[in-house]
Amino acid sequence: MKAIQDCYPPKYAHCYGCGHGNPAGYQLKSYLQEGITQARFTPGMQYSGGVPGHVYGGMIASLLDCHGTASAAAFASHERGVAMEEQIEPPRFVTASLKVDFKNPTPQGVELLVRGELISVEGRKVRVALSLHANDVVCATGEMLAIELRAGA
Ligand SMILES: CCCCCCCCCCCCCCCC(=O)SCCNC(=O)CCNC(=O)[C@H](O)C(C)(C)COP(=O)(O)OP(=O)(O)OC[C@H]1O[C@@H](n2cnc3c(N)ncnc32)[C@H](O)[C@@H]1OP(=O)(O)O
């Protein structure tokens, strides 16, 4: 299955979170399946938080950030009845607002699962519920408001 981010033309592959053309970035890949988006990522040991063995909170927020905007694009496309990979220029979303709740410490050295569920689509505004899991434990939850860029932006 094609990742949501891989549906964009190469000129948009520079994102720090998900751009496959950014060797310094995470190169996150998100997938929409049965109404849920998922991405898996194992942060390097350089993303240590204040407590040894725990992942830095900003890294966690950035995973939710990037997965959230990709999810918004896939959910909006689905609502419009067209798959991401069927579009030459899929809709592009940026984060307007992201709230994160840190529920449990996120362990280092573990593959993390990031999930997204659609809350609502209202014109250019898409709300996505997000969560981050390690070893089946919810470590963080979040809510994003993503806004679709106007044509030509
Ligand atoms: C370049 C990307 C290429 C991507 C291609 C490849 C993509 C592959 C995957 C994705 C990867 C993306 C990247 C990672 C995620 C980032 O990290 S994105 C970077 C961080 N975010 C930003 O820089 C966004 C900065 N903000 C802005 O540019 C502008 O404020 C926005 C968000 C585009 C909105 O501006 P605008 O288009 O002029 O919209 P505006 O008319 O002001 O507002 C529209 C509606 O949203 C509401 N709204 C706007 N902001 C807010 C807010 N903060 N709170 C509540 N409501 C708000 C307004 O009230 C309005 O509501 P209605 O009146 O329609 O009901």
Using the mean position of ligand 1's atoms as its centre, give its distance from the Cα of residue 33 in Å: 25
| Residue spans per domain, the chain | 4-148
Kind and range of the H or E run holding 61: helix 57-79
Does the pTM surpass 0.80? The reply is yes
Q: What is the pLDDT of residue 104?
A: 98
Using the mean position of ligand 1's atoms as its centre, give its distance from the Cα of residue 47 in Å: 27
Average pLDDT over residues 133-147: 98
In tens, the pLDDT along 54-68 reads 999 999 999 999 999
**Ligand 1 pocket check for 82: Cβ under 6 Å:** no
Q: What is the pLDDT of residue 124?
A: 97
**Ligand 1 pocket check for 66: Cβ under 6 Å:** yes
Radius of gyration for the chain, computed over Cα atoms and rounded to the nearest angstrom: 15
Q: Tell whether the model's pLDDT for residue 145 goes beyond 80.
A: yes
Lowest mean pLDDT segment, chosen from 10-24, 31-45, 105-119: 10-24
Mutate to test the pocket of ligand 1, among 94, 143, 149 (most ligand atoms within 8 A of CB): 94
Residue pair 85/9 in contact (Cβ under 8 Å)? The answer is no
Alpha-carbon 137 to chain mean position: 19
ipTM of the complex: 0.91
Q: Tell whether the model's pLDDT for residue 153 goes beyond 90.
A: no
**Ligand 1 pocket check for 147: Cβ under 6 Å:** yes
Q: What is the pLDDT of residue 131?
A: 98
DSSP 149: P
Considering the domain 4-148 in this protein, what is its CATH number?
Answer: 3.10.129.10
**Ligand 1 pocket check for 148: Cβ under 6 Å:** no
d(CA 110, CA 120): 31
